[in-house]
């Protein structure tokens, strides 16, 4: 059983510096929604969340791997509107298609004003919050969200990670191990 007392020294998993200012969960969600709206998407999916997270959170970016690997993941995310992501258009992530029909995200081509979370993205956000509560935290961190995204083998974020050469299972285990070490107070400097 872990002590509820904070570690005696700070613990920054994966990076030597703290997350970028404003990289909290609200900032990540806001950035993902803006990205979805700019792309004309009616729903904010897990790839939008991953993109916003990696752009705003140094620890999450470092957890993905070396800078070249993180750049490769971001490169895939940037190309979603011209490459493999084209097949995601007008479908809702996390909704199984009906036989003979794609799961449509609504009529028309304009995005809604809110770009609601897809079922998979909403599940990842809820799972990140649950991870934080189990750890005794008040608010999910970027690493909680990254681990939750990587844990869903059917989500778009995992598809991007795999294409970029990141093994989602290894990533999830690495994050869990680092957060566990930090919680005990014997890990590398970070949260």
CA 55, 126, 38 angle in degrees (round to 5)? 40
Alpha carbon 132 to its chain's center: 14
Whether 34 shows a pLDDT value over 80: the answer reads: yes
Render pLDDT for 133-179 as a digit per residue (tens, 0 to 9).
998 888 899 999 999 999 999 999 999 999 999 999 999 998 988 77
Residue 168 lies in a domain: yes
Residue 20 lies in a domain: no
Which whole-number Å values give the CA distances from 133 to 130, 138, 143, 144, 148, in the listed order?
5, 7, 14, 10, 13
Render pLDDT for 47-87 as a digit per residue (tens, 0 to 9).
999 999 999 999 999 999 999 999 999 998 988 755 555 55
Residue 86 lies in a domain: yes
Averaged pLDDT for residues 112-116:
61
- Residue 80 domain boundaries: 25-95+110-184
Residue 14 lies in a domain: no
Render pLDDT for 98-112 as a digit per residue (tens, 0 to 9).
554 444 444 333 444
Residue 13 lies in a domain: no
- Residue whose token pair is 């084209």: 86
Looking at residue 85, its pLDDT comes to 59
Looking at residue 183, its pLDDT comes to 62
Residue 17 lies in a domain: no
What CATH number is given to the structural domain containing 75?
1.10.1780.10
Indicate the number of domains in the chain.
Answer: 1
Residue 190 lies in a domain: no
Residue 73 lies in a domain: yes
Averaged pLDDT for residues 112-132:
86
d(CA 121, CA 125): 6
């Amino acid at each position: 059983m872990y002590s509820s007392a904070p570690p005696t020294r700070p613990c920054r998993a994966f990076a030597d510096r703290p997350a970028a200012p404003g990289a909290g969960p609200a900032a990540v969600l806001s950035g993902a929604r803006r990205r979805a709206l700019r792309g004309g998407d009616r729903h904010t999916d897990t790839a939008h969340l991953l993109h916003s997270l990696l752009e705003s959170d140094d620890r999450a970016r470092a957890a993905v791997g070396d800078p070249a690997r993180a750049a490769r993941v971001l490169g895939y995310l940037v190309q979603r509107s011209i490459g493999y992501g084209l097949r995601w258009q007008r479908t809702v992530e996390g909704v199984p298609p009906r036989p003979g029909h794609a799961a449509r995200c609504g009529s028309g081509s304009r995005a809604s004003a809110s770009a609601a979370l897809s079922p998979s993205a909403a599940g990842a956000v809820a799972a990140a919050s649950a991870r934080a509560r189990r750890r005794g935290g008040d608010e999910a961190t970027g690493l909680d969200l990254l681990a939750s995204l990587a844990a869903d083998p059917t989500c778009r974020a995992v598809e991007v990670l795999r294409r970029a050469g990141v093994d989602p299972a290894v990533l999830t285990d690495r994050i869990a191990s680092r957060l566990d070490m930090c919680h005990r107070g014997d890990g590398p400097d970070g949260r």
